[in-house]
Amino acid sequence: MYDIIGDIHGHHEALRALLYRLGYRFRGGAWRFPGARRRALFVGDFIDRGPQIPETLALVRGMLEADSALAVMGNHEYNALTWHTPDGNGGWLRRHTVTHRKQHDATLEQYGIDSAAPEGDRGVLDIPSPRGRGARRLREDLQWLRALPLYLETDSVRVVHAAWTDEAAAEAQNSRTSPRAGSHAPTPLVDDAFLHRSAFGQYRESRAVETLLKGIEIALPEGAWYLDKEGSRRHKTRIRWWLDPAAPVRTMADIAMPPADRELGHLPVSPRQREKLPGYTGSLPVFVGHYWFTGTPAPVAPRVACLDYSVARGGILCAYRFEGDPVLSGEHFVSVDASGGPTGRPHRFA
């Protein structure tokens, strides 16, 4: 079975503490569960924001190479890939704006790259051999991250960073890059054509990546906007895609994610906007990260759980001990705080 772990954002010590609390031990160069009876399963967002990003990637990569863990890509890994990849026209697949640089700065700094310097603004994937050991290490780590799947699906569970729809999953599955034999883990971003098309909104590859890694977004009523957590003006909002379409909805605040009661509580939801709520009707539980939850961890729907509880903002690093249960339970969440201290009830693990 799996221990599914939420967004880490460079909090290496918290990750070590959470793995230890889950019963994993460092043996033979990697963290493993005794007897290989369990595997960790990461929902992505290993980089940016936190204090020990290279160390976090080394730990996660070591577990994957030891076959004691699996992982999917997060939007921060995708953003880093496109930030560092040239677009063929003198720019990059993700523009080097002030906002984008701010989101990626912690990673650049910890790899010894000054993004304010001319050479630091180039990206490490646009030249064959970047200067400096840190830049070369970041290049290697990004090339490894590029091979992570956009989602994982087993006989008992689905894991994706932000949102599951059958259409988005099918688009990733139908890419020219096939999953490994015996795997349900498509890795289409290793294909140059898919990666480039994913960065531009008019292509179906972009819509698939947007859904799987960033979530489902709908437009606010004409003229309405609010400031997001980065201070940017937003005319759209991510939605709680897992909501039952028949659930009572009064205002945009009822469907917005992250919550924006004060900003959106006065805006009505139109019938057309309600139609964009896909809900989740699959039989397999789905685990996601991405959404900066706070408070006591709990499922958001009978078969959907979010494991991002804002460790990068003083929250907790959260996991779910999955035993194959088709209906999820709050009893199975395990967490530590950002410093690695235990939170919540004690747990006993076999």
Q: Is the pLDDT of residue 181 over 60?
A: no
Contact 33, 39 (CB under 8 A): yes
Residue 188, judged by CB atoms within 10 A of its CB (0-12, 13-18, 19+), counts as buried
Size (the chain), residues: 350
- Mean pLDDT, range 19-46, rounded to an integer: 97
- Where are the chain's structural domains? 2-216+278-337, 217-277
Which of the four pLDDT bands, split at 50, 70 and 90, describes residue 349? very low
Q: Both tokens of residue 44?
A: 């992505």
Q: For 111-160, how does the pLDDT look when each residue is reduced to its tens digit (9 = 90+)? A: 999 877 776 788 888 777 777 889 899 999 999 999 999 999 999 999 99
Nearest CA-CA partner of 301 in 241, 211, 260: 241
Residue 138 DSSP SS3: helix
Q: Residue 101 class from Cβ within 10 Å (0-12 exposed, 13-18 middle, 19+ buried)?
A: middle
Question: Among all chains, which residue has been given the structure tokens 């932000």?
Answer: 162
> Looking up tokens 């051999």, which residue turns up?
129
Q: Whole-angstrom Cα distance, residue 70 to residue 67? A: 7
Which residue's structure tokens are 């009523």?
221
* Residue bearing tokens 């979530």: 215
The matching CATH number, chosen from 1.20.120.1770, 3.40.950.10, 3.30.390.30, 3.60.21.10, for 2-216+278-337 is 3.60.21.10
Q: Which two tokens stand for residue 171?
A: 């688009």
Average pLDDT over residues 70-96: 95
The reported pTM is 0.92
pLDDT of residue 177: 55
